[in-house]
Amino acid sequence: MTTESRADQIGKNTIFAKLGSWAGNLRDNLPEINNSRDITDLEKITGPALCLAAGASLELHLDEIPEFKGTIFACERNLIPLLERGIIPDYWVSIDGDPIMATFIDHPLVDEYAGKMTAIFDTTASPKTVQRWKGKKVFFNAWIDNVDELKSISLVFREITRKSILHTGGHCGSALWFLSDFLNADPIVLIGLDMAYPASIPDLSKTFIWEGIKHLSEEEILTYFRREINPFGKEIITDFVWEGYKDAWLTWIKDADCMTIQCSDYTILHQPPLKVMTFKEYLNGNI
């Protein structure tokens, strides 16, 4: 009997929980999808890309990011804080279908700089987010399941939308890396892609998986978490979901032709072939 990996288990559970909302969002997004470009229409990148995910590490580097020379990708969650610091991403990405995502771009600054950014949406992203954005829109289908099987949901979504399929890694932070790699960026620099929490967080109820485990005893809850001190010297807490993502990520990065540089101080993703350094070291040319 074949044992499923944690990443496979997470993926299967996600499909069962989200398929209905994904299909509904895709249906509502179709008018925008049909009038928008595909990711294959984007120009390839020459040089480095900076992926700004929404982890706690991002806050440590907001003053340094303007020194970066290259293409910047961001998540919808951190778009407003970046714009408030004068940081204008070239691309921002949204793959989450929750309507609350629209609140992260509901700001006059987002409208002011809409002409300078391109939004890249999964076809199942929140329709409210898609409709709230007033700038250029590009769509793709997130890889959901095995596209070699005729029953593939990904294939069905592709045929409905006529948009390309691209792996996202299951969350917006990793989607930034996949899109950067797809557009031939090299190297790809990561900030805020933590997949962990600073050990100083006040309680575990602030973590991503809390709603699914809060009914358990304290002793059982603790089995879902692990502490470590990472190469940046930061004590961090991670959970079994992020651990599953990490295991899958290492495989994807090993298969990529580009160099990936990890500058996320609170990360659990620091194993080879990742090159680990501080963002200041990268800016000083210590590659």
Per-residue pLDDT reduced to its tens digit, 203-213: 787 777 887 88
Tell me the percentage of the chain whose pLDDT exceeds 70.
Answer: 95
Q: With 60 as the cut, is the pLDDT of residue 6 above it?
A: no
Distance CA 70, CA 174 (A): 19
Q: Which residue has the higher pLDDT, 240 or 25?
A: 25
Does 162 reside within a domain? Answer: yes
Nearest of 106, 148, 151 to residue 129 by alpha carbon: 106
Does 215 reside within a domain? Answer: yes
Q: With 80 as the cut, is the pLDDT of residue 254 above it?
A: yes
Nearest of 113, 107, 72 to residue 92 by alpha carbon: 72
Does 1 reside within a domain? Answer: no
Distance CA 77, CA 186 (A): 25
Nearest of 166, 127, 268, 265 to residue 208 by alpha carbon: 268
Does 85 reside within a domain? Answer: yes
Q: Give, in order, the Cα–Cα distances in Å from 159 to each of 65, 140, 163, 262.
A: 39, 12, 8, 36
Count structural domains, the chain: 1
Q: Which two tokens stand for residue 81?
A: 């804080």
Does 287 reside within a domain? Answer: no
Q: With 60 as the cut, is the pLDDT of residue 2 above it?
A: no
- Range 12-34 average pLDDT: 88
Distance CA 108, CA 92 (A): 16
Nearest of 228, 231, 229 to residue 277 by alpha carbon: 231
Q: Give, in order, the Cα–Cα distances in Å from 242 to each of 133, 170, 174, 239.
A: 30, 10, 12, 6
- Residues of the domain holding 238: 6-281
3-state SS record for 50-118: EEECCCHHHHHHCCCHHHCCCEEEEEHHHHHHHHHCCCCCCEEEECCCCHHHHHHHCCHHHHHCHHHCE
pTM over 0.85: yes
